Structure 1
Amino acid sequence: MTIVKDDAMNNESLLAAFQRLGRPKVLVLGDLILDRYTYGDAERVSQESPVIVLRADNHELRLGGAANVCNMLRGLECEVVAAGVVGADAAGADLVGLLETAGVDASLCITDASRPTTLKERFVGRAGARHPSQILRVDHETTDAVAGEIEERLLYGVVNQLDDCDIVLISDYAKGVCTPPILQTLIRHANERGVPVLVDPMKGRDFGRYRGADLIKANRIETETCTGRKIRTPDEAAAAGQELCAALQLESVIVTLDSDGMALVEKGGAASLFPTEARSVYDITGAGDMVLAMLGAAIGSGLSRAEAVRLANVAAGLEVEKIGVAVIPLDEIEAELTAHHQPGVRKILSLDQLARQADELRRRGQRIVFTNGCFDLLHYGHVTNLNEASRMGDILVVGLNSDSSVSRLKGPDRPVINQNERAAMLAALSCVDYVAVFDQDTPLELIQAIRPHVLAKGGDYKAESIVGYDFVTSYGGEVRLINLVDGHSTTDIIRRVAEAQPPRRAAA
């Protein structure tokens, strides 16, 4: 069958669809996983054996599997109920604690003392100036199907939640929670109540357990395995999707096709291809969970499947730009959508957005430089100094005084250019990676939020007197002076313009 390419990815209707997102209540059933990350430098080989030595300097716990889907839904500001099984162990307590901290209802996270909590330990190494890479993963798990009292309690709990939910997501990682009896009973009751069921299936051939669901989201390999069809083109994906719809009584199938985008196949024959945008891909971990979460948030809010897929494409694109699994909040997605209409706005971030981005940049091993100023009447001296600052690291962040802050510092006649236009001009410079407006008299709050590796300021200051000096040097950061360009200042430019104006004639 022939698939139709969707051309609406960047138009204003997508932003309008995003703005119709509500706060649906989502029930997530699936395999709850805890990810434990250990980061460090991996720059030598052991003298005892030919193995990489990781000098650990940071540890992090993150939610994985169905628990990650819950966390991502909370980032999209949905109300979330998590249903699954954890062990009676420290990892289980950590997992439930992280869910509750994220605002997820964990009352249906049932403890099974006979099995361990699924735990994935990931070791991530940095070497030289290259991006960090995962060098080893150790799994602690059992894949035995839940049974007996545990299965009954879980099934009773999820069915009783249906009347209060807008949508159900099934995140099946084949760790034993999504048994055929639980799935078929849940799908049947959801259908009776008119509650949509979206499935991210396990790897393998047994998709029959999802029969009757509204939508299955499967990747290329999963779809090939289930249908026995080779998928080399979007048209072949559409044919495979149509086969799944007919065989499993599904309303629709989404086949994710990596860099080719996503194919949405509707029962009855309609099929559309939603292309992706070119991205800097750092880590595909979590992209599938992000797609499922955005589909759930969108369809649970009453958006069409096509609108949901477009938004999921955008969210997944942002996800693969992160190292490891990361929550993509609504404001980041909105900024991405807005950037299609206002080039450069992607660089202009709020304090919270900048803090999150700085954490991501550090995970990538990139060196952050921070400088700040009013940048009223952007001139040659400014551009020269910014270029010099950018060469001190990998990423240049510019803190920009707000209009009210400039007025307090420079007087009531300043700024000449408002903060939105000043931010846009800075963002248009290739040497500037991010801009953040601050309203205080000093940028200390910004500096504390992003913890730059280098704090750079014009050479008319002494390093010790620069705002943020004590904070940055306290964790080993550098404070460096930028060489000033003589004869260039906003005040001088304003004075010269005023002097060049012809005198006004007196009124007759």
Structure 2
Amino acid sequence: MLDKYLYGQVERISPEAPVPVVLVSKESYTPGGAGNVANNIVSLKANCRLIGLIGNDENAGVLKKLLSSNGIEYNLLEWDMPTITKTRVVSGNQQLIRLDFEKSSEISENLKEKLKEQIAKWIETSSIVVISDYGKNICSYEICQFTIKQASKSKKSVIVDPKKTDWQRYRGATVITPNLKELGDFYGRRLENDDKVIESVAKKIYPHLGISYLVVTRSEKGMTVYDGKEFYHFPTEAKEVYDVSGAGDTVVATLSVALASGFDIKEAALLANKAAGIVVGKAGTSPVYYHELLKEVENESFTKLVSLDELLVILDDLRKKNKKIVFTNGCFDIIHRGHVTYLREAKKLGDVLIIGLNSDESVKRLKGNARPINSVEDRANVLSALEVVDYVVVFEEDTPYELLSKVRPDILVKGGDYKEEEVVGREFAHQTVILPFVAGYSTTNIIKKMGGLS
């Protein structure tokens, strides 16, 4: 599927009907459905191959381009239905409406055989198999059972994200991951989100499923795992619920990567629960990145260092939330009081503070062969320990010009006695602010004093 987002402002009500008029200022696309599962998998630094159906239309081309740019290998077969597209209209922090463009049809015998051929081929060289069933006819009883049996022959685990109430098609899978509603639909009645209720239902249905593990995602109550003997309840890890779009995809993706990496089901579920807690704090259909999950696992760990590509995705999400981005840069070789005061004042200017950090080679060219005193990894770790710093990104050039051309912050901050017209990259920021340095503090002076003491 293809997810499309239209962003704009509402300033009036239509004279034609009592509905808001949205002045669209931006549009974006992201892989949806099984494509979002694949996107989450590669964002966790695992390889992924995607099999499915698409139309012969413009949106199919958009989707293929997105998958390729994200490093996802795919074999998408064309059929005579349009590429399923979901368009969401968003104003501020509020989704106003979702428009679904799709048609349903049975899959021809010829397409089924082509799907089976590709599935069998790729299972042999894969570590784990995910069936992401969105109820769009591709995951029929025939296709699901073929996939599961092929995986079993190759001794590969299968994770299923179910949709239909006929779960016999998933028989033989390793893990099935219904949410609370899907579990209730299968059981035949609406279920209360309570541990005892979930346990009672799981005990009744488990013997009939032919699976190893039942993993129930329970929204604000977290996640429950049942292995036929014991229950394991994982309370929610969400700190802020912004958008639940694609949270189930994130759970399935994280489970698959963890199990394929040798984690047991409890460890994999713990990671998946943490990943879900991260993704619901993002706007729209967004993946969870390796560094985000690592940071969560290590409990706000020592590093906030991200790559430029990761940062650009993070910034896109922050801008959807109307966060004000502040950027500054420097060598930060030996952090002192002057640095801390400067960064504290910079953070006050907005919501998120990003530090552009000169690489070791860059510092050497600017400061001489004796510098830096501390490596870029050490400098990034020290900056990460400061509460006011949100992200650190390293650049190799002598100036942050190229970096700023990509980041395009709301506010660019420089320290010292610069004039605004002298600030490199100012044309990429909405505003440039000059903050004074704290008198008497500098890395150079500290190094001189240290030399004097020796």
Task: Please report the TM-score for the alignment, with normalisation by the length of structure 1.
Answer: 0.80
Structure-1 separation of matches of 2:168 and 2:332: 62
Does structure 1 retain, via aligned residues, the 8 Å contact 2:275–2:293?
A: yes
Structure-2 separation of matches of 1:221 and 1:492: 64
Is 2:139 aligned against 1:178?
A: yes
1:381 — aligned with what?
338
**Residues 242-253 of structure 1 correspond to what in structure 2 (within 5 A)?**
242-253=203-214
2:9 — aligned with what?
41
Q: Secondary structure at the match of 1:284?
A: coil
Does structure 2 retain, via aligned residues, the 8 Å contact 1:146–1:179?
A: no
Residues 335 and 179 (structure 1 numbering): CA distance in 2 closer, same or farther, change over 3 Å? Answer: same
2:223 — aligned with what?
262
Aligned length: 453
Does structure 1 retain, via aligned residues, the 8 Å contact 2:259–2:268?
A: yes
Deviation at 1:394, TM superposition (A): 1.6
Q: 2:302 aligns with which of 345, 359, 374?
A: 345
Is 2:353 aligned against 1:396?
A: yes
Moved over 6 A (4+): 496-499
- Any stretches of 5+ residues in structure 2 without a counterpart? none
Once the two structures are superposed, residues 77-118 of structure 1 have per-residue CA deviations (whole angstroms, 9 ceiling, x without a partner) of: 4443322222232223333343344444433x22221x2221
2:194 — aligned with what?
233
Residues 437 and 190 (structure 1 numbering): CA distance in 2 closer, same or farther, change over 3 Å? Answer: closer
Does structure 2 retain, via aligned residues, the 8 Å contact 1:242–1:266?
A: no
Structure-2 separation of matches of 1:74 and 1:112: 26
1:94 — aligned with what?
62
Deviation at 1:212, TM superposition (A): 2.4
2:272 — aligned with what?
312
Does structure 1 retain, via aligned residues, the 8 Å contact 2:295–2:301?
A: no
Residues 329 and 344 (structure 1 numbering): CA distance in 2 closer, same or farther, change over 3 Å? Answer: closer
1:478 — aligned with what?
431
Q: Secondary structure at the match of 1:353?
A: helix
Structure-2 separation of matches of 1:184 and 1:462: 69
Once the two structures are superposed, residues 321-368 of structure 1 have per-residue CA deviations (whole angstroms, 9 ceiling, x without a partner) of: 32112233434433443x43xx45343333333233222222222111
Residues 163 and 260 (structure 1 numbering): CA distance in 2 closer, same or farther, change over 3 Å? Answer: same
Rg (Cα) greater in structure:
1
Q: 1:279 aligns with which of 239, 252, 258?
A: 239
Deviation at 1:167, TM superposition (A): 2.5
Which of 91-100 and 485-494 deviates more? 485-494
Q: 1:291 aligns with which of 218, 233, 251?
A: 251
Structure-1 separation of matches of 2:70 and 2:443: 47
Q: What amino acid is aligned across from residue 389 of structure 1 in structure 2? A: A
Residues 157 and 440 (structure 1 numbering): CA distance in 2 closer, same or farther, change over 3 Å? Answer: closer
Does structure 1 retain, via aligned residues, the 8 Å contact 2:127–2:156?
A: yes
Q: 2:411 aligns with which of 433, 454, 462?
A: 454
CA RMSD of aligned residues (A): 2.9
Q: What amino acid is aligned across from residue 86 of structure 2 in structure 1? A: K
Does structure 1 retain, via aligned residues, the 8 Å contact 2:303–2:380?
A: no
Deviation at 1:238, TM superposition (A): 3.0
Structure-1 separation of matches of 2:367 and 2:120: 64
Residues 78 and 145 (structure 1 numbering): CA distance in 2 closer, same or farther, change over 3 Å? Answer: farther
Q: Secondary structure at the match of 2:232?
A: strand
Deviation at 1:452, TM superposition (A): 0.8
Does structure 2 retain, via aligned residues, the 8 Å contact 1:241–1:254?
A: no
Identity across matched positions, percent: 39
Q: What amino acid is aligned across from residue 124 of structure 1 in structure 2? A: V
Does structure 2 retain, via aligned residues, the 8 Å contact 1:39–1:56?
A: yes
**Residues 411-490 of structure 1 correspond to what in structure 2 (within 5 A)?**
411=368, 419-470=376-427, 472=428, 477-490=430-443
Q: Secondary structure at the match of 2:129?
A: strand
Residues 493 and 151 (structure 1 numbering): CA distance in 2 closer, same or farther, change over 3 Å? Answer: closer
Once the two structures are superposed, residues 250-301 of structure 1 have per-residue CA deviations (whole angstroms, 9 ceiling, x without a partner) of: 111101122332211113x122123332423322211111111122223234
Does structure 1 retain, via aligned residues, the 8 Å contact 2:312–2:407?
A: yes
Q: Secondary structure at the match of 1:83?
A: strand
Q: Secondary structure at the match of 1:37?
A: strand
Is 2:79 aligned against 1:112?
A: yes
- Any stretches of 5+ residues in structure 1 without a counterpart? 1-32, 127-131
Structure-1 separation of matches of 2:375 and 2:63: 47
Residues 497 and 181 (structure 1 numbering): CA distance in 2 closer, same or farther, change over 3 Å? Answer: closer
Residues 469 and 154 (structure 1 numbering): CA distance in 2 closer, same or farther, change over 3 Å? Answer: same
Does structure 1 retain, via aligned residues, the 8 Å contact 2:128–2:260?
A: yes
Q: Secondary structure at the match of 1:347?
A: coil
Structure-1 separation of matches of 2:236 and 2:451: 51
2:170 — aligned with what?
210
Structure-1 separation of matches of 2:123 and 2:378: 49
**Residues 130-149 of structure 1 correspond to what in structure 2 (within 5 A)?**
132-149=93-110
Q: Secondary structure at the match of 1:345?
A: coil
1:321 — aligned with what?
281
Q: 1:51 aligns with which of 8, 16, 19?
A: 19
Deviation at 1:414, TM superposition (A): 5.2
